[in-house]
Structure 1
Amino acid sequence: MVVESGGEVFTVEAKEIILSAGAVGSPQILMLSGLGPADHLNEVGIPVVKNAPGVGQNLRDHPLAYISWKTKPAHELDPNDPRLQFALRYTAEGSEFKNDMIVYMNTFATERVNRGGNRMDPTGIRMILGLDLEVGSGELKLASSDPHAEPILDYNYFEEEFDLSRMRDGVRMCVTLGENESWNDIIESRIDPPDDALESDDALTAWLKREVTTGHHISCTAKMGPATDPMAVVSQIGKVHGLEGLRVADASIMPDCVRSNINVTVMMIGERIADMIIHGE
């Protein structure tokens, strides 16, 4: 394997290569090495070593929407207090996926940093609605054959109506909760979503598609599965189908996103595959 480190390029040889660059880095490296969807590799000028259509596909995440309120002047907002202390997990109406939704209660809300906000400047309080198990999925593609070029991430949020309907219902539930008299001493007015976004499904859909943000749980971009599945990239022990001496061990090999934060799952993937390697599997 040819490696660049600190400006130096050299060759590394080993009995087995374990790729653990994460759900963005691993599929990027695989495709740059010629392992990926043949049409896409040809498009960016990379010689195809193995046509693996699942590499970079099946991108999963936990999309989030913010339901926010301005608080009354008498309600103290301390930036040094804990901000997320409890959450509501629930199963959406009509869903076969248990606990597919979550709401985090944020007791100190700010404007989003990517919009110029400062984490220490309060705007009020917030409920963060999350879709913990999407039906839809996105994809990761190469921008070019240059390994220094960042890949293109298309989260493809809300292309599936069931994902949208669950989020619309969740937003309306949070809005209703905020109208409960228990909040009378705290809430002055609702910031988001605005009233006009609640007038119809179409209006709320437009607001959701405009305001959705990532839960930072990108995963599943080189999914595990049997060799009979053309979209499966690795086996149950992390070995890349159709190649010898290459294994992947990170969030990319999850077949679907877990209905929780993914950090513990990813650590256990590493531990389990390390144990498999030790025992010669």
Structure 2
Amino acid sequence: LMPYFRMIETDTDFSGDFHGSDGPIIVRRWKPEEWNPAQIAFYEAARANGFPDCPDHNAPGSTGVGPTPLNNPDRVRWSTAIGYLSGARERPNLEILPDCLVHRVLFDGHRAIGVRAEVNGEVTDYEAEEVVLSAGAIGSPHLLMLSGIGPSEALDAVNIPVHNELPGVGQNLRDHPHVRVTWRTRDDFDQPLGLPGVQFTLRYTAQGSHLPNDMLIHPSSRSVIGRRWWGQGASEEIGLLMVVCLDLAVGSGNLRLRTKDPHIQPFLNYNYFEEEFDLKRLREGVRIANRFGEHEDWTRLVTERMEPTDGDMGSDEALNAWIKETAVTSHHVSGTCKMGPESDPMAVVDQFGNVRGLENLKVVDASIMPDCIRANTNVTSMVIGERVAAFIGEGL
């Protein structure tokens, strides 16, 4: 896949065999003169704790602490809408339907012939020579099951006739669970609005782990808004935090239908921490972040650690309880229609993205990743799209 990674990016900082220079997605890193005090303090704390310097996290074999590669030139996320779709909108063979909800895939026997979709409240059948699902690791398995493709027991439970039994649909749900270690800042520490949230990242291998670079910690120069990060129990306390993320969990979850109504989102069982190995690594990560918080450069900025409390840190059992209570998704769900060989009964698609047992139907998004990658799924999903587009051009 390396040629496709190079194809899609323009890296403004590095060149060579592992970086692109003429692609639609802009990659850059904050420059030293732009680094803010909290980010510098994190870097110094990581280095003082023995982690190596890593100027390029996208280099092969890279590990340690260094500037975070970002696709946000001029502080604007360089999405596929900007990098790809903007330049393709006027193509005569492209029609974009906004406010469109696909209900299901249509079949003639085992051959996909189109989709049923709702546009502005009106349901219409659209015919196609080939159907490509790119609805994401939640939407694609949802659509397959609504179309009668998936585990028979899951389909029977909501009275959907089984069109093609594939037990792996909606299974193998992978993600990057993370927790936040938070500090209250000193009254004289200024955090102006618009301050970059993330400039540095630490990637490392957990103690005793057989999975390289399975952990990630990064600081965030944002206000602390409480343990229920997504709006519940919001706090007005101003602070700093470090995100501790499990980048290669060994546990997995699943997705199942609540109903056959396409308007109702499926139920997600992330099943975090069914494996003690996952809990152990996050515990270690929280304790590493706490050590960073004791570094003199960090203590100049903060007055006290807010979460986890000293009581939460007092034992493995207490820290486990805090992790289970506060862990949240990184929104990097993947693996729910995983790619695999025909010998794997849980594989949903083959190496070309074709759904097994059916014709003219592909899945092309993060759902086909066999496991969650050790990074944001954003760019790799684009690479999957480029690679399968080439397959389609070759008639595969």
Give the alignment's TM-score, normalised by structure 2: 0.69
Shift of 1:220: 0.8
Say whether residues 1:199 and 2:314 are aligned partners. yes
Give per-residue Cα distances to partners, 1:45-66, cap 9 Å, x unaligned. 1000111110000111111100
Say whether residues 1:275 and 2:390 are aligned partners. yes
Say whether residues 1:115 and 2:115 are aligned partners. no
Find the counterpart in structure 1 of residue 46 from structure 2.
none
Say whether residues 1:214 and 2:329 are aligned partners. yes
How far apart are the structure 2 equivalents of 1:109 and 1:3? 42
Equivalent residue of 2:255, what SS?
A: strand
Equivalent residue of 1:266, what SS?
A: helix
Alignment map for 1:9-158 (pairs within 5 Å): 9-111=123-225, 112-115=229-232, 117=234, 123-158=238-273
**Contact 1:78/1:108 (<8 A) preserved:** no
Following TM superposition, the consecutive aligned residue runs of length 4 or more in structure 1 with deviations greater than 4 angstroms are none
Change (3 A) 1:156 1:162: same
How many positions carry a matched residue from both structures?
A: 279
Aligned-residue sequence identity (percent) comes to: 51
Segments of structure 1 that go 5 or more residues without pairing to the other structure are: none
Equivalent residue of 1:10, what SS?
A: strand
Give per-residue Cα distances to partners, 1:206-236, cap 9 Å, x unaligned. 0000000111101111000011101000000
1:229 corresponds to which of 335, 339, 344: 344
Shift of 1:150: 1.0
How far apart are the structure 1 equivalents of 2:222 and 2:153? 47
Shift of 1:182: 2.8
Give per-residue Cα distances to partners, 1:76-108, cap 9 Å, x unaligned. 122221121101110001111111100011122
2:303 corresponds to which of 178, 182, 188: 188
Change (3 A) 1:74 1:246: same
Change (3 A) 1:186 1:153: same
Give the alignment's TM-score, normalised by structure 1: 0.96
Shift of 1:191: 0.3
How far apart are the structure 1 equivalents of 2:193 and 2:199? 14
Equivalent residue of 1:23, what SS?
A: helix
Find the counterpart in structure 2 of residue 166 from structure 1.
281
